[in-house]
Amino acid sequence: MRSIGVRQFLFSRRAYGKSVQTPLVESLRRRILTTGPLTVADYMRECLTNPHHGYYMKKDVFGTKGDFITSPEISQMFGELLGVWIASEWQSLGSNNHLHIIEFGPGRGTLASDILRVLTQFDGIKERISLHLIDVSPKMREIQRKTLCSATADGSTSHQKSVYGNVDITWHHSLADVDIHGNCCVIAHEFLDALPIHKFQRNEKGVFHEVLIDVADSSSPHHFREVLAPTPNANSTKLVNPKDERDHVEVSPLAGMFVQDIASHINKHGGFALLADYGHNGEKEDTFRGFQSHKLVNTLEQPGEIDLTADVDFSFLRHCLSPFKVVTHGPISQQVFLHNMGISIRLKTLLNAAKTEQQRLDLLTSYKMLCSPDEMGDRFKFFMIHPHGHSSLPAAATS
């Protein structure tokens, strides 16, 4: 749920300073002293989703006043073109089918809002769609209701009506909670890069050891430090391909389980999925980062107060999907996807409708941020999952 391109390349790196004593520090310290160093995955999980002190659990972290800004917040064109893609995919399934749209980590609800605004303009589909939002943060659910629902929606139930037509919206904690019958469209935009990763580093003998988080001494600028496990463990043995030529490898078992759950869902109910995130195809090494106020910070700084993220390894996800009856397309760049879906035409229409020079400048700036190879155009990737026998639509063409 983040835009590393915007955060990493449009804002300067912040100088690392002495970590402050956040509410999560003492809890992590006690746990480490009791049971030993944590995996990076356990550290990420606590920092991001601890029920009381987790980064995502207590505030709105998006936008210029937060720690990062996402593509849907940059321009309405992003969500609108995803809406057009969903409509095209739905038509390929047969226009009489109901479509359950399932979005993971929906942020403020901006992407869902833009998608619904487009879909409810298509006769036939607007009567056959429902929206399911999966988010564990009470604060973000509250914001999503304000974005998507009528002013009378009080959040007392997990079911509401959208401001766009009569679309049903339901909130869930996990995909297992979504009880549907019929085709599904799964959207995960900037969701996978927040899932916990295990980090591994090759030692001088060429053997992979897991990177762990331990308590630091008083001379350290932070309360914690990274250390290597003294010997290979079960994770380094089972999760890392010994033939991998990289010196640093990051693996997210949860991301693998996530795409397998999606594939199982598609096999059972029909449908398709779109995963959009900063990532790579198995070539990157050390991508684990921290962000605060749109600047890079040390991952050990202010636990629970900063965003932690790692690039998605789409080659690993493809490997995890090999036992399932699905086909994958991508990863392709955001630039290719958006141009295939007609962003140039949409931009021209909006420019012609702009009433002021400032509006036109804002449109051109947002277009550049989304599509320029120097910003988000090449760094952000799109990965699609379909049932066997599906014909690739233009947006899924290889780059």
pLDDT band at 101 (very low <50, low <70, confident <90, very high): very high
Average pLDDT (103-110) is: 94
Q: What is the pTM of this model?
A: 0.86
Q: Over 70: is that where the pLDDT of 132 sits?
A: yes
> Is 237 in a helix, a strand, or coil?
helix
Q: Which of 54, 49, 120 is nearest to 90 (CA)?
A: 120
> Is 304 in a helix, a strand, or coil?
coil
Give the up-direction half-sphere exposure of residue 252: CA atoms within 13 A in the CB hemisphere: 29
Q: Over 60: is that where the pLDDT of 10 sits?
A: no
Class level of CATH domain 4-396 = alpha beta
Query: What pLDDT score was predicted for residue 139?
Result: 84
Task: Quote the CA–CA distance of 288 and 223 in Å, as a whole number.
Answer: 18
Q: Do residues 342 and 371 make contact, with C-beta atoms less than 8 angstroms apart?
A: no
Domain boundaries, the chain: 4-396
Query: What pLDDT score was predicted for residue 11?
Result: 32
Extended strands (E) in the chain: 38-39, 99-104, 129-134, 159-161, 168-172, 183-189, 198-202, 208-215, 224-228, 248-251, 271-280, 289-292, 295-297, 307-309, 312-313, 326-333, 380-387
Query: What pLDDT score was predicted for residue 4?
Result: 33
Query: What pLDDT score was predicted for residue 9?
Result: 31
Mean pLDDT over all residues of the chain? 87
Q: Do residues 376 and 3 make contact, with C-beta atoms less than 8 angstroms apart?
A: yes
Q: Over 80: is that where the pLDDT of 119 sits?
A: yes
Give per-residue pLDDT as tens, 375-397.
999 999 999 999 987 655 556 65
pLDDT band at 158 (very low <50, low <70, confident <90, very high): confident
Q: Over 70: is that where the pLDDT of 170 sits?
A: yes
- In terms of pLDDT, which residue wins out, 312 or 241? 312
Task: Quote the CA–CA distance of 51 and 363 in Å, as a whole number.
Answer: 39
